Amino acid sequence: MFDWLIVGAGFAGSVLAERIASQRGEKVLIIDRRAHAGGNAYDRYDDAGILIHQYGPHIFHTNSEMIFFYLSQFTKWRFYEHRVLARVDGQLVPIPINLDTVNRLYGLSLDSSGLERFFAERAERIAEIRTSEDVVVSKVGRELYEKFFRGYTRKQWGIDASHLDRTVTARVPVRTNRDDRYFTDVFQFMPKRGYTALFERMLSHPNIKIMLCTDYREIRSVVPHRRVIFTGPIDEFFDFRFGKLPYRSLRFEHLTLDRAWHQPVAVVNHPQSEPFTRVTEYKHLTGQRHSRTSLTYEYPSDHGDPYYPVPQPQNAVLFKRYEELARKRSDVWFVGRLATYRYYNMDQVVGQALATFKRINEALPLELRKRAPSRLAAMAEVTQI
Ligand code: FAD
Ligand code: UDP
């Protein structure tokens, strides 16, 4: 009999498996229907021997010291600050839009205050910023919105930015200085030996058994267990009772070129007419040296594995109905990007899993003698996730 059956071996499931096994001393079976652990963060060496991310580029960044130190138990890190260029009107320019983006695109030599005026002259006044279009148009005006955001967003989501919650494009800031980093978080690193190695260490505990290529439906009535942690799509758990929640998918085209480098940075975005959204060249991320180079092209799609919850008001309403059902299941904890229908980054999922672990401990207190002391637990008490 397992104390816990954890469905999904991504960050949400693996963090909880590790916490429960090491801190509560309970037996965990973690399953995944894929042939590997790591969820969407899974990486592997391709045929050329180059470390690639199977499901597109994953860059770790967080402002939470607690989350960073928690993960540091399982990996060493490689300092890496992510930089992205966008191919716009035949040029490669920085995105997020900054001083160099505008100067290069329009052949200008503005300084920061000049760029502030440039934006102010073009920004549209919008009383209430509701949509992803509003966010950008109200900061930089329509022309830059159309060059950098309209096409990319249509491709990525299959819908116009004017129908998408403002939180989506708000992920990408606009700057008036020359800072060309994609993220400004305090901690920005790549796991030194990759994500899969990190997951292997996280899950290597005598109380954890891993079963791959296994769907929850196949084993839920066969393998005895007391409680469930579910990190798959919440609508699927409830047999789509209220209808399907939309999740956006991607098709990844991986290829290796017979030359050392392809592009100047790890990711080039293609917001204009190309059918793909971005191209990733992994050696920039990993620091690996190799005479060849491997890339991934991302083609958004409605079909395939669920990758992104789609932030739209009607989907939030539908999710709430599933959440109500979930609330009544005191034997099941729903965690992660798919089960809580939140467009979360890896660090947010880790934070959510650690917060869930705290709630599990409150709901199911262990006898004191069983509980292992933990410096991390003490930090979690004082650190806001
Ligand atoms: P997942 O990683 O999706 O894991 C869920 C697992 O559950 C899956 O492996 C799935 O196979 C399994 N599963 C589902 N249902 C079942 C079932 N019924 N039975 C058995 N197994 C099941 N975040 C960042 O911080 N930085 C980035 O740069 C970044 N880039 C990204 C790029 C792309 C293309 C995508 C799609 C995401 C990116 N993310 C990034 C987000 C990151 O992938 C997620 O935050 C994180 O992986 C979510 O972890 P999770 O455990 O919630 O879900
Ligand atoms: N986006 C865009 N153009 C870009 C980059 C981003 O229109 O060059 C929009 C797009 O809607 C995208 C969203 O901003 O889905 C969030 O971008 P992010 O890079 O955070 O996407 P993710 O890495 O999560 O796929």
- The partner residues of 257 in beta bridges, in order of sequence, read 293
Residues 236 and 139 grouped into a single domain: no
Check pocket membership of 341 for ligand 2, CB cut-off 6 A: no
Contact 179, 112 (CB under 8 A): no
- Going by C-alpha positions, the residue among 57, 99, 97, 96 that lies closest to residue 80 is 57
What pLDDT score was predicted for residue 366? 85
What's the pLDDT tens digit per position in 336-353? 999 999 999 999 999 999
The rounded Cα 267 to chain-centroid distance in angstroms is: 15
Check pocket membership of 8 for ligand 1, CB cut-off 6 A: yes
Q: Does 96 map to a domain? A: no
Six token digits for residue 126: 């919008």
Give the Å distance between the CA of 145 and the centre of ligand 2.
12
Q: Does 61 map to a domain? A: no
Check pocket membership of 42 for ligand 1, CB cut-off 6 A: no
Q: Does 316 map to a domain? A: yes
Single out the residue in 170, 187, 215 at which a domain terminates. Answer: 170
Give the Å distance between the CA of 157 and the centre of ligand 1.
17
In this model, does residue 385 exceed pLDDT 50? Answer: no
Mean pLDDT of the chain: 95
Check pocket membership of 271 for ligand 2, CB cut-off 6 A: yes
Single out the residue in 154, 170, 186 at which a domain terminates. Answer: 170
Name the residue with the closest Cα to ligand 2, atom 19. 172
What's the pLDDT tens digit per position in 302-325? 999 999 999 999 999 999 999 999
Looking up residue 211, the CATH number of its domain turns out to be 3.40.50.720
CA 155/CA 170 separation, integer angstroms: 17
In this model, does residue 204 exceed pLDDT 70? Answer: yes
Residues 158 and 232 grouped into a single domain: no
Single out the residue in 151, 170, 189 at which a domain terminates. Answer: 170
In this model, does residue 382 exceed pLDDT 50? Answer: no
Residues 161 and 19 grouped into a single domain: no
Residue 367 — very low, low, confident or very high, per pLDDT cuts 50/70/90? confident
Q: In what order do the strands lie in the sheet with 187-191?
A: 60-62, 187-191, 77-79
Residues 119 and 222 grouped into a single domain: no
The arithmetic mean of pLDDT across residues 159-171, rounded, is 98
Contact 99, 111 (CB under 8 A): yes
Cα–Cα distance list, 256 to 44, 262, 279, 281 (Å): 14, 10, 12, 10
CA 203/CA 74 separation, integer angstroms: 10
CA 33/CA 59 separation, integer angstroms: 24
State the Cα torsion 193-307-185-192 to the nearest 10°: 0
What pLDDT score was predicted for residue 182? 98
- Going by C-alpha positions, the residue among 167, 170, 171, 151 that lies closest to residue 159 is 151
CA 224/CA 219 separation, integer angstroms: 9
Contact 51, 68 (CB under 8 A): no
What's the pLDDT tens digit per position in 248-281? 999 999 999 999 999 999 999 999 999 999 999 9
Cα–Cα distance list, 309 to 261, 302, 365 (Å): 33, 12, 33
Ligand nearest to the CA of 53: 1
Ligand nearest to the CA of 60: 1
Residues 7 and 146 grouped into a single domain: no
Phi-psi region of 39 (alpha: psi -120 to 50; beta: other; left: phi over 0): left
Q: Does 89 map to a domain? A: no
Q: Does 175 map to a domain? A: no
Residues 240 and 131 grouped into a single domain: no
Residues 155 and 213 grouped into a single domain: no
Q: Does 228 map to a domain? A: yes
Q: Does 285 map to a domain? A: no
Residues 15 and 138 grouped into a single domain: no
Contact 321, 302 (CB under 8 A): no
Contacts of 273 (CB under 8 A, 6+ apart): 151
% of residues, the chain, pLDDT over 70: 95
Which atom, in ligand 1's list, is nearest to the CA of 339?
A: 52
Residues 162 and 212 grouped into a single domain: no
Q: Does 146 map to a domain? A: yes
Residues 212 and 123 grouped into a single domain: no
In this model, does residue 369 exceed pLDDT 70? Answer: no
Residue 383 — very low, low, confident or very high, per pLDDT cuts 50/70/90? very low
Say how many domains are in the chain.
2
Residues 32 and 114 grouped into a single domain: no
In this model, does residue 165 exceed pLDDT 80? Answer: yes
Lowest-pLDDT range, 107-111, 168-172, 236-240, 372-376?
Answer: 372-376
Residues 227 and 137 grouped into a single domain: no
Length of the chain in terms of residues written: 385
Contact 64, 351 (CB under 8 A): yes
Ligand nearest to the CA of 132: 2
Name the residue with the closest Cα to ligand 2, atom 20. 171
What's the pLDDT tens digit per position in 92-144? 999 999 999 999 999 999 999 999 999 999 999 999 999 999 999 999 999 99
Residue 161 — very low, low, confident or very high, per pLDDT cuts 50/70/90? very high
Q: Which domain holds residue 214?
A: 2-37+203-245+310-376
